[in-house]
Every structure is written in C-alpha cells, then in structure tokens.
A and B are shown apart, each in its own frame.
Chain A
Amino acid sequence: MRKLLNTLFITTSNVYLTLKGETVVVSQEEDVLGRIPLHNLEAICTFGYAGASPMLMHACAEKNVSLTFLNAHGKFLARVIGESKGNVVLRKTQYRISDSEIASAKIARNFIFAKVANQKWILERATRDNPLRIDVPAFKQVSERLLEDLKKILACEDLELLRGLEGQAASAYFGLFDQMILQQKEAFYFKTRNRRPPTDNINALLSFIYTLLAKDVSAALETVGLDAYVGFLHRDRPGRASLALDVMEELRGVIADRFVLKVINKKMLDEKDFIRKEDGAVLLTDEGRKKFLQAWQERKQETLTHPFLKEKINWGLVPHAQAMLLARHLRGDLEEYPPFLWK
C-alpha cells in the first residue's frame, strides 16, 4: 500500500505559495514562513484567499499532488487536476453503470450497507465503552433495528428504496448522537443535523470534516482513474462530486463522526474555538481550525488493519484503498465492491 504523505494546510488568508526548485515556499508578504520539499506532500489544501503560483500548480498536477482551494469556511471552491489518469475504458464502464439504475443499485447497496453497519458498530462501541453514561437499552434497541435494516439493504436492488432505508437508519443513529457527547455538554450538543449554515458547534464540525473527507475521497478516486463526479447512489448534479459522496457514505460515521466526538470528548477544542454570527451561523475560529486540522492530520497517521485487504494501513489511506477496490470491481477483478466495514 502506498505511503501516506503529508497534507500541507494553509489556514492564514494572505499567504502565497510558490515553487522554488523542488520546494514549496510559503510566504506572507516579504517573509518566508516555511519551505517544504514537494515530494514530502500528498496534498496541499488552502483556506480563504491564498494564492499559489501557476508554476506550483503545474508541478502539483504533474506530480499528482492534490491542490485544493477551500473558502474560509471550508467550502470547496476548486482543485487543480492533472491529465486524466487511467483508462477511458474504466471510466466508460463507470458511466454505463451510472446510467443504469439497476446496475447502480447493486453498488450503491454496498455503500449503504457499510454506512449502516458502521453506524451500528459505533453505537455498540458506545454501549461497551460508556455503559454508565448512556441509555443502554435505547442504544441496544436502535442497534437491533439497524440490524433489521441491514438485512433489508442487502436484499434491496432499488435506488429509491435504498435511499429510504438509509434515511431511516441515519435518523435513528443521529437520534442517539447527542448521548455520545460526554464532555462539555453545555457547549456541545446535537439535536438534529443542520447545515448551510450549521447552527451549532457540533454541526459546524461535522460540516467541516465532511468537506475534508470529501476532498480526500475525490483525490483518491481521481488517482485510480475514476471520475469523482459520476456517482451511483448520488445522481448527476452539475458541480457535485457524486461518486466521492457515494464512497463517503461508508466512511462518514466511522471516520468523520467518530473524529468529531473524539475531539470534543478529549477536550481538544472548546467553546472559545467557535463564533456565532448574527444569523445564528456557527463558524470555527482560525485558532480552532488550526487545532482541528492538526488533530485530523494526526488521526490520519494512525494505523488499522483493513477489514477486507487484511493489510495494515494508515487511516488516511482508507479512501485510497476503497477507490482502488472500486476500480478493481469495475475492471472485473472482483465480482462485487467490498465496502469498508469497520470492526
């Protein structure tokens, strides 16, 4: 499995990135803030207006380093994409399957299966780890319910029904989400999922981490030659990376939600790291974002044994492993797509 290199996050808005030789130079007006050899980087991610020289973009495209521009709130703006990699035959297979609701449903089913299986396992882990702080019977009940959903999902070959099953499972899971927040309860609570804009601290973190994960998944898909914009569960919508959202389904809970819970429960962020706008929108402060990204980077370096490949990899490589497995399925090496099932 390939090595996980680092992501360079630029969170200050008036920073300019250039390339000198093989080194990325980070500068603010006249001052050089740092130099990082390009070959140590897998991705560069900038927030707010941060410029990058065309020469750096060129080198990133050539060396397959993902260079992403997000706005100050972490919303995706643009990405530098190099020459289309991979085979046109692979992408045509992807498009053909995407055009067929029946064929799409067979792959979508596995994304959703894993999403719900992972949510179920998150709930079970919570009952095991904190039996005295959560309503165990309620967790057990939802877990059993999710098991019934899983059986239905495995037998389901209809996209609309799959979406329905997924929605029900998600609302049952999110109904217990607040109980898994064990620390700083006054500042961090969860009633329901809201976004655009998020109106509480937890939703602000969830929205942010989903953006980061979507960016990683998109890059992983492009790396293996798939088109991140053509999905199976998510249908085409201009400008939406539908396939990235598909693959993300199985990773949301296990990677993103758990990470947000950990950051709060370990008190890595607190109330002071957020600001509330006049309209109720909640934003992370610059300082809060830095801490969050730092923790995210560290999280990605931790290892696990991939459940299907049985190989030790970094958490940060899970999107790559899934992208490769999806490509291998579309190429016909695997009769079905093996989703990421955490245990």
Chain B
Amino acid sequence: MGINEEDYLMLSGIQHFRFCARQWALIHVEQQWEENVRTIEGQYVHQKVDQPFIREKRLDKLIVRAMPVKSHELRTTGICDVVEFIQDPAGISLINEVGKFRVVPVEYKRGKPKKEEEDIMQLVAQAMCLEEMLACEVPVGYFFYDEIKRREEIQITEAHKEEVRQLFKQMHHYFTRQHTPKVKMGKHCKSCSLENLCMPILNEKQDVKSYMRRYLV
C-alpha cells in the first residue's frame, strides 16, 4: 500500500486539538478561522522566524529557519520555526556538512510560558518528525517566548510521544469522518478566537420544535 500524503494533517493542529477538539475541527475540518489579539500576536512573532532562506552558522551551530518536516508514522506535515544543529561527536552526519550534529527544535511562541500542555505536544510532534527524517534522537527542544525573550527547555519523554501518537490517531479519525465534535464548555472558551463561530451556547439550547411552537399561541 502506497503512502498517500494528501491525507496528512497539519502538525500545528495538534496544539488546537489538545486545547479543544472542536476548535481543531472548526479550523482544520471546517476551515473556519477568526483572528483575535492572540492570533495576530502569534503571526507577528512568526514573521521574524519565518525566513526559509536564511541559514546561519555560529561557531558550533547551524541554525535553520522555517524547516518543513513530516512524519509518516503520525501522518503529518508541518514547519519547524527553528532547528539548531549543534556539533556533537555523538550526533548524526548531515548532507553537505562536515562533522556530527545533534538536532534541537526551537518553537517560537507569543506571550510567556503556559501551564497547559498543548504547546508541548506541538514541539514533541516536531521532534518526532525530526527523529524519523534524520534517524536520530531528539531528547530536548526549546520554546522561545516572545514576551520574556527567553528559552525554556523541554524534555521530550516517551510519555509525551505516546500522547502525541494517540492525539494524531483521534485527529485522523475525526478528519476521515469530517466530524466536528460537540461543545465541551470550559475555561478555555474564554481565550478561544473561534467563540463566535463555535457558539458553545448551542449545546444548552432547547430544541427548535418547541422554540417554534411557542409562537403558536
């Protein structure tokens, strides 16, 4: 059986899916999107890193921006904001480069470190793509937070990877059925840019028949 890459899902979708399955479905299944302050800030942060033709070398480091990645295991494709290749005798060799390197993804985020794990899922998924493409180990990755201008190190654990696999499995399942899950209202609804499209309130609504019958008096 051949690999049909048409069916691959967007890697960045995993953060939406972990945040709220319905939000993910509205964006990725129904293709709806609305901007809010947070999404605009996010775009601004990424303008700076989305420079695929800039390649930097600094001492022992090769820094690559906007690198396309994919994983056949997860059936996903996406873009890593920054991947750093750091000279390391225990690392892997790269085409056109001398020496051995370890591979470190860096994801740029607006704001400051968050408690929730949706961002981590995205970084772990990127790490899994890199591991698969380069046949290497990616044990750590970083977030660069725009607001505090600082990096945060993330250990990429087997538990994280297993969660990523499970999430992608569910995403593919929903995507094949073109299914938008029903609303699960929660705190996260407050910071969601899609509240107007999602109409979480619909869940608690009376049925339409009785709504209409009330007018028959």
Which A residues lie at the B interface, using CB under 8 A? 1-2, 85-87, 89-90, 110, 113, 117, 147, 150-151, 154, 224-225, 307-311, 324-325, 328, 331-339, 341, 343
Which B residues lie at the A interface, using CB under 8 A? 29-32, 34, 178, 180, 182, 196-197, 199, 201-202, 205, 207-209, 211-213, 215-216
Question: Given that A87-B29, A335-B208 are contacting pairs, would A324 and B215 also be in contact in the complex, using a CB cutoff of 8 Å?
Answer: no
Q: Chain B residues with Cβ under 8 A from A154's Cβ? A: 212-213, 216
Evaluate contact between A335 and B207: CB separation under 8 angstroms: yes
Q: Chain B residues with Cβ under 8 A from A310's Cβ? A: 201
Evaluate contact between A151 and B30: CB separation under 8 angstroms: no
Top 4 A-B pairs, shortest CB-CB distance: A336-B208, A87-B30, A338-B208, A117-B215
Question: Given that A324-B197, A333-B182 are contacting pairs, would A151 and B216 also be in contact in the complex, using a CB cutoff of 8 Å?
Answer: yes
| Complex CA distance for A341 and B208, rounded to whole angstroms | 11
How many A-B residue pairs lie within 8 Å, measured between CB atoms? 74
Q: How far is the CB of B64 from chain A (nearest CB, A)?
A: 30
Point out the residue from A89, A311, A334, A343 that lies within 8 Å of B208, measured CB to CB: A334
Evaluate contact between A86 and B215: CB separation under 8 angstroms: no
10 A-B contacts, Cβ less than 8 Å apart?
A: A2-B34, A89-B29, A117-B215, A224-B32, A307-B211, A308-B208, A324-B197, A325-B199, A331-B180, A336-B209
Label chain A's interface by main secondary structure: loop
Residue of B nearest to A309 (CB): B201
Evaluate contact between A87 and B31: CB separation under 8 angstroms: yes
Evaluate contact between A341 and B31: CB separation under 8 angstroms: no
Q: Chain B residues with Cβ under 8 A from A343's Cβ? A: 215
Q: How far is the CB of B188 from chain A (nearest CB, A)?
A: 19
Evaluate contact between B207 and A1: CB separation under 8 angstroms: no
Evaluate contact between B32 and A86: CB separation under 8 angstroms: yes
Evaluate contact between A1 and B196: CB separation under 8 angstroms: yes
Q: Chain A residues with Cβ under 8 A from B215's Cβ? A: 113, 117, 150, 341, 343
Question: Given that A86-B30, A225-B32, A335-B208 are contacting pairs, would A2 and B196 also be in contact in the complex, using a CB cutoff of 8 Å?
Answer: yes
| Max count, chain B CB within 10 A of own CB: residue among A87, A150, A341 | A87
Q: Chain A residues with Cβ under 8 A from B202's Cβ? A: 328, 333-334
Q: How far is the CB of B68 from chain A (nearest CB, A)?
A: 23
| Complex CA distance for A339 and B215, rounded to whole angstroms | 12
Q: Chain A residues with Cβ under 8 A from B207's Cβ? A: 335-336
Evaluate contact between A328 and B29: CB separation under 8 angstroms: no
| Max count, chain B CB within 10 A of own CB: residue among A90, A147, A309, A338 | A338
Given contacts A224-B197, A331-B30, A339-B212, 10 further A-B contacts (CB under 8 A): A87-B178, A110-B212, A113-B215, A224-B32, A333-B182, A334-B202, A334-B205, A335-B208, A336-B207, A336-B209
Question: Given that A151-B216, A328-B199, A333-B202 are contacting pairs, would A341 and B182 also be in contact in the complex, using a CB cutoff of 8 Å?
Answer: no
Evaluate contact between B199 and A225: CB separation under 8 angstroms: no
Q: How far is the CB of A65 from chain B (nearest CB, A)?
A: 13
| Complex CA distance for A117 and B215, rounded to whole angstroms | 7
Residue of A nearest to B196 (CB): A2
Evaluate contact between B216 and A311: CB separation under 8 angstroms: no
Evaluate contact between B212 and A341: CB separation under 8 angstroms: yes
Q: How far is the CB of A52 from chain B (nearest CB, A)?
A: 23
| Max count, chain B CB within 10 A of own CB: residue among A117, A310, A331 | A331
Q: How far is the CB of A325 from chain B (nearest CB, A)?
A: 8
Q: How far is the CB of A27 from chain B (nearest CB, A)?
A: 29
Q: Chain A residues with Cβ under 8 A from B205's Cβ? A: 308-309, 334, 338
Q: Chain A residues with Cβ under 8 A from B197's Cβ? A: 224, 324
Q: Chain A residues with Cβ under 8 A from B216's Cβ? A: 147, 150-151, 154
| Complex CA distance for A328 and B201, rounded to whole angstroms | 12
Q: Chain A residues with Cβ under 8 A from B208's Cβ? A: 110, 308, 334-338
Q: How far is the CB of B208 from chain A (nearest CB, A)?
A: 4
Q: Chain B residues with Cβ under 8 A from A224's Cβ? A: 32, 197
Q: How far is the CB of A37 from chain B (nearest CB, A)?
A: 15
Q: Chain B residues with Cβ under 8 A from A331's Cβ? A: 30, 180
Residue of A nearest to B203 (CB): A333
Q: Chain B residues with Cβ under 8 A from A335's Cβ? A: 207-208
Q: Chain B residues with Cβ under 8 A from A1's Cβ? A: 196
| Complex CA distance for A324 and B212, rounded to whole angstroms | 18
| Complex CA distance for A308 and B209, rounded to whole angstroms | 12
Q: Chain A residues with Cβ under 8 A from B201's Cβ? A: 309-311
| Max count, chain A CB within 10 A of own CB: residue among B178, B201, B215 | B215
Residue of A nearest to B22 (CB): A333
Q: Chain A residues with Cβ under 8 A from B31's Cβ? A: 85-87, 225
Evaluate contact between A85 and B196: CB separation under 8 angstroms: no
Q: How far is the CB of A250 from chain B (nearest CB, A)?
A: 11
